């Protein structure tokens, strides 16, 4: 029981760190607005793969990744799942970069506010996770907030919906596929790298790394800022419920919203504030619900220990 609780705590901490990282990422992409979104995406993929190779060698995980990769090649279903995950996360990256660099950080945050609702839907329908009363109330409150935001936007936010669906499906695959965090991310970036390299070499407006040195440094760093939160996210997805993964994700878009409004001076009126109040209320309800559940489990465990 104690090991399970420690594992869940570690998963929660990994999830929180991942979403904080993603929450401040718009600041990073704003540093390369002179680079077209498709080129940023290509460099993000290339340098993520190189960074993963560097990590697994430095941390002496290369032999483990190699052996696990050989085993995966003998399991077609697992291999297909990893390929699908690679394309899902690539699509998510492009939508995010395009939305942020076109001056719509608040819309990008809407995508990641919708994401947890998709997570909950997948958790209940596919994983058969049961929601507590508090979680149900939290989902309803968050849904109301997202619907108000969508209505206020005046049109269907396809980019936001696309980001939500692609990342939710990606997270579901990460939870279900029995592959280590290191092997999974290495293979995902490796699968997409040839496409990224072809694009940079033959279709990009500039040649390979033909930008000023400061821009090149940021593009190289894209691999680091991509791989680290994905490793943390994959760790969280395997250790905690998918419903909890979904609600932790509200950390990211809340930070994005604050950055969009306070730093990049994007509009934020009273209707948006009203909508976000429902979302923040959902977070509070969800947190209280889990604190209460954790305390109850701890009491039951202590009672069982005394009886034994």
Summarize pLDDT for 63-97 with one digit per residue, the tens: 999 999 999 999 999 999 999 999 999 999 999 88
Helix (H, G, I), strand (E, B) or coil at 132: coil
State how far the Cα of 234 lies from the Cα of 85, in Å rounded to an integer.
12
Report CA Rg, the chain.
Answer: 20
Per the CB < 8 A criterion, the answer to whether 48 and 189 are in contact is yes
Residues of the chain with pLDDT under 50: none
C-alpha dihedral sign at 13, 19, 24, 30: positive
Compute the half-sphere exposure of residue 241: CA atoms within 13 Å on the CB side of its CA.
Answer: 19
Q: What is the pLDDT of residue 200?
A: 92
pTM: 0.80
Q: What is the pLDDT of residue 287?
A: 75
The fraction of the chain above a pLDDT of 70, given in percent, is 96
Q: What is the pLDDT of residue 260?
A: 86
Q: What is the pLDDT of residue 157?
A: 79
Q: What is the pLDDT of residue 125?
A: 85
C-alpha closest to that of 37 among 89, 86, 93: 93
Q: What distances in angstroms separate CA 129 from CA 87, 124, 125, 216, one per listed residue?
A: 26, 5, 8, 45
């Amino acid at each position: 029981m104690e090991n399970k609780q420690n594992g869940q705590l570690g998963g929660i901490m990994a999830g929180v760190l991942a979403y904080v990282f993603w929450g401040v990422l718009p600041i990073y992409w704003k540093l390369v607005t002179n680079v077209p979104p498709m080129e940023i995406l290509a460099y993000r993929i290339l340098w993520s793969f190189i960074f993963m190779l560097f990590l697994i060698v430095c941390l002496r995980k290369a032999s483990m990744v190699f052996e696990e990769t050989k085993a995966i090649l003998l399991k077609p279903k697992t291999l297909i799942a990893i390929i699908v995950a690679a394309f899902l996360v690539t699509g998510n990256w492009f939508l995010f970069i395009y939305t942020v660099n076109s001056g719509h950080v608040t819309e990008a945050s809407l995508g990641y506010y919708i994401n947890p609702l998709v997570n909950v839907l997948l958790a209940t329908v596919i994983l058969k996770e049961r929601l507590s009363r508090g979680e149900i109330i939290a989902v309803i409150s968050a849904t109301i907030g997202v619907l108000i935001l969508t209505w206020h936007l005046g049109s269907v936010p396809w980019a936001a919906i696309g980001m939500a669906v692609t990342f939710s499906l990606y997270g579901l695959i990460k939870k279900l596929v029995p592959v280590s965090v290191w092997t999974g991310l290495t293979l995902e970036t490796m699968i997409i790298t040839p496409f990224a390299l072809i694009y940079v070499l033959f279709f990009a407006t500039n040649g390979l790394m033909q930008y000023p040195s400061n821009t090149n440094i940021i593009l190289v760093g894209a691999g680091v800022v991509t791989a680290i939160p994905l490793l943390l996210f994959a760790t969280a997805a395997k250790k905690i419920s998918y419903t909890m993964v979904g609600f932790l994700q509200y950390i990211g878009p809340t930070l994005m919203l604050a950055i969009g409004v306070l730093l990049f001076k994007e509009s934020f009126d009273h209707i948006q504030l009203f909508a976000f109040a429902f979302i923040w209320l959902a977070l509070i309800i969800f947190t209280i619900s889990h604190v209460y559940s954790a305390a109850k489990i701890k009491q039951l465990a202590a009672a069982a220990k005394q009886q034994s």
